[in-house]
Amino acid sequence: MAGVDEFALIRMLNQSGMKGVPGPAGSGVSVGIGDDAAVLRSAGGTELVVSCDTMVESVHFKPETMTYRDIGYKAMASSLSDLAAMGAKPRWALVALASSRGLSAARLGELYDGLYACANRYGATIVGGDTTSSPGGLTVTVTVIGEAAVGRALLRSSAKPGDAVFVTGPLGASAAGLRYLLAQGEAAPLLEALPDAIRPLARAHRMPEPRIVAGLLLGEARTGLCGALNDISDGLASEAWEIAEASDAHIRLFGHCIPQLDELRAYAAETGLDPLDLALYGGEDYELVGTVRADGVDELSGIFAQAGLRFWVVGEVAEASPYGSPAGVTFIREPGGEPVLLGKKGYNHFA
Amino acid sequence: MAGVDEFALIRMLNQSGMKGVPGPAGSGVSVGIGDDAAVLRSAGGTELVVSCDTMVESVHFKPETMTYRDIGYKAMASSLSDLAAMGAKPRWALVALASSRGLSAARLGELYDGLYACANRYGATIVGGDTTSSPGGLTVTVTVIGEAAVGRALLRSSAKPGDAVFVTGPLGASAAGLRYLLAQGEAAPLLEALPDAIRPLARAHRMPEPRIVAGLLLGEARTGLCGALNDISDGLASEAWEIAEASDAHIRLFGHCIPQLDELRAYAAETGLDPLDLALYGGEDYELVGTVRADGVDELSGIFAQAGLRFWVVGEVAEASPYGSPAGVTFIREPGGEPVLLGKKGYNHFA
């Protein structure tokens, strides 16, 4: 199939044709896709939480690392992850697409299939967007709009000395999955077709799950229980540095406390990689890293357990920096080991 | 200068460094650029109006048609124009940028200069975005969030038989400016350096003004005075067709009533172009086209005059289609001329 007509694509996305129509009950959509703009009704007593994320062919994905469905799913997931990191509830999304003329309607359909699958899973309604051609590869920008109770969004700047530092899941798997897929060097196979030992790693890279429920639990917990919160898009080191700098605090991370999948440890052992290096610098795990008052760890564990979730304490906010600096991150690999100043380097597209 | 560091760029955009901080009073920004997402406070009694637009190098602009400042200004203007077309008040914007590594910090600075100039002019606060590298050219996506009183956003689907069809300004100038600049074939000169006879055409193409004030006047007018509303991004023909189809109505446009700049008529005469063809199919004028109750034209003229604005009646919504079709647009070039079914073709990136 050759290129796809923009209007046909919009019609495809908008079952109701070219008119802006209300969305399903509870979606808050007064006018959806099909007019110049969407019209949305926000719930009372809330603030809007908005963010956008761009994925670019050859930079964020290649044919051997992702299917088109994966690209759509991950583009939506990475944007929603920013809402999770604020403790916000996803409401709406807009999708801007620049794609080469050669991209078939079937591939675009798969892309939107992934976008919708992730949006539906986490309660976001796609209310608009833009499609345009591009002489280069595919670029996908997803803007998400969520809500949080007034004054309750969770910021990076709220870490306090004495807090425990936690993460919501195993780290490093996405980077390992990426390495595996690149090494195969062929078009990304379906996840089902991958070996059992690899599938969780590839899934972490291709279909990451934004930690929306965990973010909401943290946002709704009693004031002050959760301090700072970030999502881990650029690796734990970079995210911990962001919290440390925004909070003027010093964070100490313990390597042996960082949760990692058995499959990751096995893959790392086989390939001679350091699994902790993947956790600290690999990025794109989209777990949350945050701080919790030290006397609130048990309370938060209880809240998470009620929802079938857990978290892992991986560090602490130090009373004072061992280096005398106002903010930073040190890393202690093994119990009793020497703290080293952790390099900040994360995933930086312009580096 | 070589590439630019993403974090340095974010810092440049965010005078306050890496912390999300409140915006200026009245901006509704509780937390601005610098955290995972921005936190915004919407005014009471309003609905949100949201849209996004993408501009791609070699598709929407080339070095000979736009400076980097123009690209920024127009990317913001074209998105804000969608809010104008809904009668909404601009509040916030997010900017997603994919740029080649070779783009200097100075050029990026000019781009943001244009983005901020347009956003400031029309009351939108830039609250977030994403910057990433791209192996291709520059891609800019601007998402805008505005507000309208509940139930008062102006839709395409509200045209009614008997309504007058109006536009808010001269049409075709942007397309003429584009043709002039492409014919010159050198890097786009500053507007000030262009001949007087060309400057308004080039300005229309490079720095279009979204008709925010006109849109707000139409949105705030008494209920039912203004019917349908669209912005003219794809040419009058295409936009009139969208209103006709969304409203199940038949629109009759009168060629001799369409306002056009003297400079456009002169340029068209010189180059052998049909100025009406540029108005109907040129696109990117970003004026508004709408319908007003026939007995409300004088009232609306008065409202516009109070604000130092005017509009031009260019057609009518017919009682019945001369072709028996449920919806469509006919065009009568001169008084007493034969109506012809107007071709729909507009600016379609995938065509």
Q: Is the pLDDT of residue B1 over 50?
A: no
**Fold topology of A6-149:** 60s Ribosomal Protein L30; Chain: A; (3.30.1330)
More confident residue, A351 or B26: B26
Q: Which helix (H) or strand (E) holds B95?
A: strand B89-99
CB pairs below 8 Å between A and B: how many?
A: 261
Which residue in the set A34, A58, A96 is minimally distant from B52, CB to CB?
Answer: A96
Sole residue written with tokens 């689907």: B157
The mean of the pLDDT values for chain B is: 90
Q: Is the pLDDT of residue B13 over 60?
A: no
Residues B296-314: what's their mean pLDDT? 97
* Residue in A12, A59, A141, A239 to test binding to B, most B beta-carbons within 10 Å: A141
Q: Is the pLDDT of residue B36 over 60?
A: yes
Q: Is the pLDDT of residue B236 over 70?
A: yes
Residue B64 in contact with partner chain A when CB distance is under 8 A: no
Determine the straight-line distance between the first and last CA of chain B, rounded to whole angstroms.
Answer: 38
Residue A350's closest chain B neighbor by CA? B5
DSSP bridge partners of A147: A48, A89
Q: B37, A49: Cβ pair inside 8 Å?
A: yes
Task: Report domain extents, chain B.
Answer: 7-149, 156-341
Q: Are A172 and A269 in contact (CB under 8 A)?
A: no
What pLDDT is attached to residue A319? 76
* Parallel, antiparallel or unpaired: strands A38-40 and B46-56: antiparallel
pLDDT in tens, A147-205: 999 999 999 999 999 999 999 999 999 999 999 999 998 999 999 999 999 999 999 99
Q: Are A294 and A176 in contact (CB under 8 A)?
A: no
Residue A7 in contact with partner chain B when CB distance is under 8 A: yes
Going by pLDDT thresholds of 50, 70 and 90, the confidence category of residue B323 is: low
Sole residue written with tokens 């893959």: A267
Q: Is the pLDDT of residue A66 over 90?
A: yes
Q: Are A148 and A87 in contact (CB under 8 A)?
A: yes
Hey, what are A290's tokens? 């945050």
CATH superfamily assigned to domain A156-341:
PurM-like C-terminal domain (3.90.650.10)
What pLDDT is attached to residue B180? 97
Q: B54, A130: Cβ pair inside 8 Å?
A: yes
pLDDT in tens, B271-295: 999 999 999 999 999 999 999 999 9
Determine the straight-line distance between the first and last CA of chain A, rounded to whole angstroms.
Answer: 38
Percentage of chain B beyond pLDDT 90 is: 82
Instruction: In whole angstroms, give the CA distance from residue B225 to residue B243.
Output: 16
Which residue in the set B85, B133, B242 is minimally distant from A349, CB to CB?
Answer: B133
Q: Are A36 and B156 in contact (CB under 8 A)?
A: yes
List the binding residues of B for ATP. Answer: 112, 129-130, 156, 233
What class, spelled out in words, does domain B7-149 have in CATH? alpha beta
Question: Hey, do A6-149 and A156-341 end up sharing a CATH topology, with the first three levels equal?
Answer: no
Q: A141, B130: Cβ pair inside 8 Å?
A: yes
Going by pLDDT thresholds of 50, 70 and 90, the confidence category of residue A11 is: very low
**So what's the ipTM on this one?**
0.91
Going by pLDDT thresholds of 50, 70 and 90, the confidence category of residue A13 is: low
Residues A311-318: what's their mean pLDDT? 96
* Residue in B78, B141, B230 to test binding to A, most A beta-carbons within 10 Å: B141
Q: Is the pLDDT of residue B16 over 80?
A: no
pLDDT in tens, A115-135: 999 999 999 999 999 999 999
Using CB atoms within 10 Å of the CB of residue A68, give its burial: 0 to 12 exposed, 13 to 18 middle, 19+ buried: buried
